Amino acid sequence: MTLADLPRRTPSTVESVEARGENDVIARRLRELGFVAGEAVEVMAQAPFGGDPILVQVGYTRFALRRIEAARVRVVTQ
């Protein structure tokens, strides 16, 4: 399952971040922000009608991500 598909308030853990190419700056930036394997992650809020952005909490930090970025983060529900 990806972070973009995760229902609100469902505790989960980051499994991996999908890189599209060798020097994928988006995947690298997501990892730098804390989306690393084993880290707790949860979708806190979503825009109406399934739009952008979604509010995500990774560890103790919250981020607003576009759905296309969140779709790169693979998660496992607890």
CATH code: domain of residue 32: 2.30.30.90
Range of the domain at 17: 12-77
Count of the separate structural domains present in the chain: 1
Residue 76 pLDDT: 97
Is 6 among the domain residues?
A: no
pLDDT digits (tens, 9 = 90+) for 16-55: 999 998 899 999 999 999 999 999 999 999 998 888 999 9
Is 7 among the domain residues?
A: no
Q: How far apart are CA 38 and CA 41, in angstroms?
A: 9
Q: Please, is 39 exposed, middle or buried when counting C-beta atoms within 10 Å of its C-beta (0-12, 13-18, 19+)?
A: middle
